Amino acid sequence: MELTKEQEVLQKVINEAWENESFKAELMANPVAAIEKLTGEKLNLKGKELIVRDQTDEETIFINIPAAPEVDVELNEEQLEAVAGGVHGGGCTPDPVGDKIREATDTFKGML
């Protein structure tokens, strides 16, 4: 599987933080400047804030609560026909909330 440019940059940042304590400290204090210095490229966060937390303590479990997905409650014609025809569980409607929950619970596999 080929990584996207963003995935490659993220992996580079993580690897550097693992190997270089001074970079890790700089990354936590001023993540944008540290990443730009490491990559030589300007970040475009589109008005968002970048927060870095050190989650290397193996005695601590960290939970990241993602934003709730926007759910479109209106059904298209195909979905309405499936519901009217009694189709159940056929995958006709996307389940973004369930997908997010399944994704988050993958983190806990083997912990419980």
- Reported as a single tens digit per residue, the pLDDT across 22-36 is 999 999 999 999 999
In a shared domain, residues 74 and 93: yes
Do 51 and 87 sit in the same domain of this protein? no
Model confidence pLDDT, tens digit, residues 62-108: 888 988 888 767 778 887 777 777 655 555 556 666 666 666 566 55
- Alpha carbon separation from 1 to 94, 102, 103, 111 (Å, rounded): 25, 22, 19, 28
Q: Are residues 55 and 72 in the same domain?
A: no
What is this structure's pTM?
0.58
Sign of the dihedral through C-alpha 67, 60, 25, 38: negative
Contact 50, 43 (CB under 8 A): yes
39, 59, 79 - which closes a domain: 59
Domain identity same for 78 and 108:
yes
Beta carbons within 10 angstroms of residue 10's beta carbon: 13
Question: Position of tokens 């890790």?
Answer: 24
